[in-house]
Structure 1
């Protein structure tokens, strides 16, 4: 017997229908039970957003023209908005060369900190490089432990 909230066996008279499982006798959903256990349909959007999209669809070209006109006339907030759309903020940059990691991790972290202090790299880039150095150090430690373990097993 599963708990259907009525303390009755599922086949007893008065037990809820299987399609109403999860609902109380008054027809409301019990706490912790969703009306959509699988969630909404993939790709579905709220009706209010769909209405806004339809409104914007008709006016988008005109709005774009007016923002571009204002930007050309010197409106810096309009220009800023246009530029923000054309060139979104950078979220990092690729490393063109992988700098050698010093054998001393403290030296590597000191070099990263020095790069941040002089402005050669940003704090975000320094954080990413620090994580790379830490991961490299961990990989070297794992390789060293593996070599030691193989040597110990060979000597036994």
Structure 2
């Protein structure tokens, strides 16, 4: 049960666009702990990087991985090949999805890869439908202007 008397008056509530704490931390400012850590590491960064490079050159796989992950990040997702008929009309989408389903069933592509392809086909369908709707609206506007 809510008691209407316990609610603050509307004129004292925060107004749209007004901060709840106008004197709070500014956007983009960093905490004191992070600023202190930056100050500690600032003078040592070059030495740390050099030490890691030396360890990597000596064959330390962990050091090499850390350095390479920064320079050459691991790839997200892998490339794969699949057959797909050309999709230029919305009517082509069901056939293309059927082809993807058949390739998943035959083990040519994995179910996860099939799901990604079907998602792309759905995006293609939406793009085709949006293009068709835009042209139909344009034609109706031309007809209405006459």
In which range does the TM-score fall when normalised by the shorter chain? 0.5 to 0.7
Match for residue 109 of structure 1 among 97, 100, 107:
97
Q: Does 1:100 align with 2:86?
A: yes
Q: Which structure would you say has the larger Rg?
A: 1
Q: 1:112 to 1:53 in 2, by over 3 A?
A: farther
Q: Does 1:137 align with 2:122?
A: no
Structure showing the higher helix proportion among its residues: 2
State the alpha-carbon separation in 1 of the partners of residues 114 and 61 from structure 2: 30
Instruction: Find the counterpart in structure 2 of residue 25 from structure 1.
Output: none
Q: Does 1:48 align with 2:27?
A: no
Structure 2: tracts of 5 or more residues without a match? 1-5, 14-18, 79-84
Q: Trace 1:1-156 onto structure 2 (pairs within 5 A).
A: 34=20, 36=21, 40-91=25-76, 100-101=86-87, 103-112=91-100, 114=103, 118=108, 123=112, 127=116, 129-141=117-129, 143=132, 147=136
When the two structures are superposed, what TM-score results if normalisation uses the length of structure 2?
Answer: 0.55
Q: Does 1 or 2 have the higher relative contact order (CA < 8 Å, sep 6+)?
A: 2
Alignment size in residue pairs: 118
Question: 1:52 Cα shift?
Answer: 0.6
Alignment deviations for residues 93-116 of structure 1 (CA, whole Å, 9 cap, x no partner): 9xxxxx83264323323555648x
Alignment deviations for residues 45-77 of structure 1 (CA, whole Å, 9 cap, x no partner): 101001111111111001001100110001000
State the alpha-carbon separation in 2 of the partners of residues 63 and 44 from structure 1: 26
State the alpha-carbon separation in 2 of the partners of residues 53 and 125 from structure 1: 46
Structure 1: tracts of 5 or more residues without a match? 11-20, 23-32, 94-98
State the alpha-carbon separation in 2 of the partners of residues 92 and 39 from structure 1: 42
When the two structures are superposed, what TM-score results if normalisation uses the length of structure 1?
Answer: 0.52
State the alpha-carbon separation in 2 of the partners of residues 124 and 42 from structure 1: 41
